Amino acid sequence: MVWDKNLTMTVRTRIAPSPTGIAHVGTLYTALLNFAYAKKNGGKFILRIEDTDRERYVPGSEQVIFSALRWAGIPHDEGSDIGGPFEPYTQSQRLEKYTQYANQLIENGKAYHCFCSSERLAAMRKTQQEKGELPMYDGLCRKMSQSQSESRAKTEKFVIRLIAPDSGNTSWIDAVRGTITIENKTIDDQVLVKSDGFPTYHLAVVVDDHLMKISHVIRAEEWISSTPKHILLYKAFGFKLPVFAHTPLLRNPDKSKLSKRRNPVSVLWYQEQGFLPEALVNYLCLMGWSHPDGKDIFSLEEFIKLFSLDRVQTSQPIFDLEKLRWLNGSYIRQKSDADLLNLLKPFVPKSAKKQELIGIIALIRDRIKTLNEFSEYADFFFQAPKVDSQILLKQSKLEAEKTGMKLLEYARVLEGLSDTDWKMPNLERAGRQLLDDRWSPKQLFMSVRVALTGKTVSPPLFDSMEILGKAQSIKRLTRAAEILTHNHI
RNA sequence: GGCCCCAUCGUCUAAUGGCUAGGACGCUACCCUCUCAAGGUAGUAAUUCGGGUUCGACUCCCGGUGGGGUCACCA
């Protein structure tokens, strides 16, 4: 990026979520890019809470956002929870600033009071749309004399609107897309201050980005069409423009903007499913960006080292759970036993013993893609399964009686093993000794598998038996044999 | 609909005028094997269309088509 080279000021980027309930993966994605860009350039990453919409505010959302970013390993240098040189970092605590700047605009003739009722606005929009025009404010109050406007403002409710030029163009050099130009006549007289005295996003974001010395505004492409409004405001205030960079918008498999209707979007959901933060972050890195060496798996540190805005793609990627799952499985496989034991804690029965778990982990680590799949593979260790005789017989391919007798025979042989001999190779040897021309390895071992686990899919049989223990294994074999004979007499 | 953005295998992407268009996920087959995985090997599949520019276009230009975003006193 050419204009980076002459940058003398510090790079300061920010993420500015609104507290509406969840931590969105789209927010995490934008945070990741802003964080990486700041760190790459030795700058600061700021977290600002944009809570100027009182109707949509959900108490507690801030904590959800903080904890999601903490989980993901994307720490901020300044923010509403930790403060900083430009605090407060919560917009509802900065109200006077916005009022002050809005009034300055009115004094300079760059903005005006608007007294139009929402009914009039709605009616106006309706007729405009019927005529096939684009709905825009008709500028009624813009024409009002200053004295009239001032006196009405003393008694009536009003909003403050920006005066947008009717001709000319507004353009900027987008750091990921190049020059973008928009005709001023398509820009509405944007509301800056609402009738409740709160600023709109457009005013607050410009004022705060300026006051907080944000150098690079890196945000999703859905903001492209409001960027000219922001530039107009920067100019009206005489502020220095930041670099704008509009990143691709994450999409659902149906190609629409990523939303909870079609896709899990809450970071918390991924956490609860047992996705590892490294995997989610790594996957997000692959959205609209690629490693110069074509690597798919790399650390956040490596990403920071290699990240650049000009390598960011402009087309909109689809968020694909399948590839994320693969990546997650890969990260799980790389974990140490101790780490996995720790990570698995929320997904494992409380009664589970540590030694036992370490053994189980060795058996399932290559099989699970998310941590919550632990129970799918390992639940039989903690609870005797319900054995379905039909499923069992389908594996043995022999009559119930013969199958039951074989299971009992295996149980008897196992009975002869001492506790110290209760080891995988011995268990397997004992099993293989029972093979003959009627019992192939597959028939016998699959039958035993169903008897012990209730399923046709499980971790390796003899390793599982070693962990399950002598008493429990024999008990389950005997019980399966009983079920077979009861059902078929 | 106006405006804006975008267009390489099903998906994520590489290749910015010169290669048989590469890699990854997924899928298929084989190997391994007590099942499922993991691992290994092989395979499947793409430059949206039409015009230009050029000795030569995935790559540059124009148009069509398609997709997305945005048009609030929400962010």
Determine the residue type at A441: P
Q: Indicate if CB(A420) is under 7 A from strand B.
A: no
pLDDT in tens, A244-258: 999 999 999 999 999
Alpha carbon of A471 to those of A244, A386, A459: distances in Å? 68, 18, 19
Q: Looking at the DSSP assignment, which residues form a beta bridge with residue A161? A: A112, A191
Q: Indicate if CB(A489) is under 7 A from strand B.
A: no
Annotated catalytic sites of A, by residue? Answer: 260
CA angle A104, A110, A111 (to 5 degrees): 80
Task: Give the ipTM of the model, two decimals please.
Answer: 0.95
| Closest nucleotide to A440, Cα to C1' | B34
pLDDT value of position A9:
67
pLDDT at A222 over 60: yes
Q: Indicate if CB(A486) is under 7 A from strand B.
A: no
pLDDT value of position A114:
95
Mean pLDDT value of segment A308-334: 96
pLDDT at A8 over 80: no
pLDDT in tens, A141-199: 999 998 999 999 999 999 999 999 999 999 999 999 999 999 999 999 999 999 999 99
Q: Indicate if CB(A330) is under 7 A from strand B.
A: yes
Mean pLDDT value of segment A90-106: 96
Q: What is the pTM of this model?
A: 0.94
Mean pLDDT value of segment A205-216: 97
pLDDT value of position A130:
83
pLDDT value of position A325:
97
pLDDT value of position A485:
82
pLDDT in tens, A31-49: 999 999 999 999 999 999 9
Alpha carbon of A312 to those of A4, A10, A244, A260, A316: distances in Å? 15, 22, 13, 25, 11
Subset of residues 452-471 in chain A with CB less than 7 angstroms from any atom in strand B? 456-463
Confidence of residue A283 (pLDDT cuts 50, 70, 90): very high
Q: Which of these, A289, A301, A362, A386, lies nearest to A30 by C-alpha position?
A: A289
Å from the A221 CA to the B70 C1':
10
Residue intervals of chain A classified under CATH 1.10.8 are: 336-382
As a dihedral over the C-alpha atoms of residue A296, residue A299, residue A300, residue A301, rounded to 10 degrees, the angle is: -130
Mean pLDDT of chain A: 94
CATH class in words for A384-487: mainly alpha
pLDDT at A423 over 60: yes
pLDDT at A91 over 80: yes
pLDDT value of position A133:
81
pLDDT in tens, A425-445: 999 999 999 999 999 999 999
Q: Indicate if CB(A442) is under 7 A from strand B.
A: yes
Q: Which nucleotides of B are covered by protein (CB under 7 A)?
A: 1-8, 10-14, 16, 22-26, 34-39, 67-75
Residue intervals of chain A classified under CATH 3.40.50.620 are: 1-79+248-334
DSSP collapsed to 3 states, chain A: CHHHCCCCCCCEEEECCCCCCCCEHHHHHHHHHHHHHHHHCCCEEEECECCCCCCCCCCCHHHHHHHHHHHHCCCCCEECCCECCCCCCEHHHCHHHHHHHHHHHHHCCCEEEECCCHHHHHHHHHHHHHCCCCCCCCCCHHHCCHHHHHHHHHHCCCEEEECCCCCCEEEEEECCCEEEEEEHHHCCCCEEECCCCCECHHHHHHHHHHHCCCCEEEEEHHHHHHHHHHHHHHHHHCCCCCEEEEECCCECCCCCECCCCCCCCEHHHHHHHCCCHHHHHHHHHCCCCCCCCCCCCCCHHHHHHHCCHHHCCCCCCECCHHHHHHHHHHHHHHCCHHHHHHHHHHHCCCCCCHHHHHHHHHHHCCCCCCHHHHHHHHHHHHCCCCCCHHHHHHHHCCCHHHHHHHHHHHHHHHHCCCCCCCCHHHHHHHHHCCCCCCCCHHHHHHHHHHHHHCCCCCCCHHHHHHHHCHHHHHHHHHHHHHHHHHHCC
A402 φ/ψ angles, rounded to the nearest 5 degrees = -60, -40
Q: Indicate if CB(A352) is under 7 A from strand B.
A: no
Q: For domain A1-79+248-334, give the fold.
A: Rossmann fold (3.40.50)
Q: What's the CA gap between A360 and A314, in Å, rounded? A: 45
| Closest nucleotide to A54, Cα to C1' | B74
pLDDT value of position A364:
97
Confidence of residue A487 (pLDDT cuts 50, 70, 90): low
CATH class in words for A336-382: mainly alpha
Subset of residues 367-386 in chain A with CB less than 7 angstroms from any atom in strand B? 367
Residue intervals of chain A classified under CATH 1.10.10.350 are: 384-487
Å from the A317 CA to the B17 C1':
27
> Pairing between strand A159-162 and A44-47?
unpaired
pLDDT at A392 over 90: yes
Q: Indicate if CB(A133) is under 7 A from strand B.
A: no
